[in-house]
Amino acid sequence: MSASTGDMRHLVTVKNVTRTSDGGGGYVDGSVSTETVYCAIRQKSGREGYFEGKVDGRSVWEFICRKPSTNFIFVKSILEYDGKTYNVRDVNNTGERDKYLIVTAEEGVAT
């Protein structure tokens, strides 16, 4: 994880959907909480294939950011940057030192 402060110049929006009880035993997606954080962004891998009659491309990205004082990046979070949507797959607190988060996210898949 060699990301300098200058690399963390990309403003990324983090969205989390809250679920509330509907009173009948189910859940309803409620409000969307939005936070922003500066990250360094790197592509880890990408692939393209032909599925169900169309070309489908998927790529895995790594977002490195300073650990925020409150936890708002979760595995169910959605990241938005440069008009693209990324689904969070893993959030790693490097060395459990509460200094940096390495977030692995996937682009090109359904939410």
Nearest-angstrom CA–CA distance, 82 and 51: 26
What does the pLDDT read at residue 46?
80
**Per-residue pLDDT reduced to its tens digit, 22-58:** 888 888 877 687 889 999 999 998 877 777 777 777 8
What does the pLDDT read at residue 66?
86
What does the pLDDT read at residue 111?
52
Answer whether CATH 2.40.10.270 is correct for domain 5-107.
Answer: yes
Number of H helices, E strands in the chain: 0, 6
Residues 61/102, Cβ–Cβ less than 8 Å: no
Q: What is the 3-state secondary structure (H, E, C) of 60-107?
A: EEEEEEECCCCCCCCCCCEEEECCEEEEEEEEEEHHHCCCEEEEEEEE
Written as six digits, the tokens of 90 are 């893993």
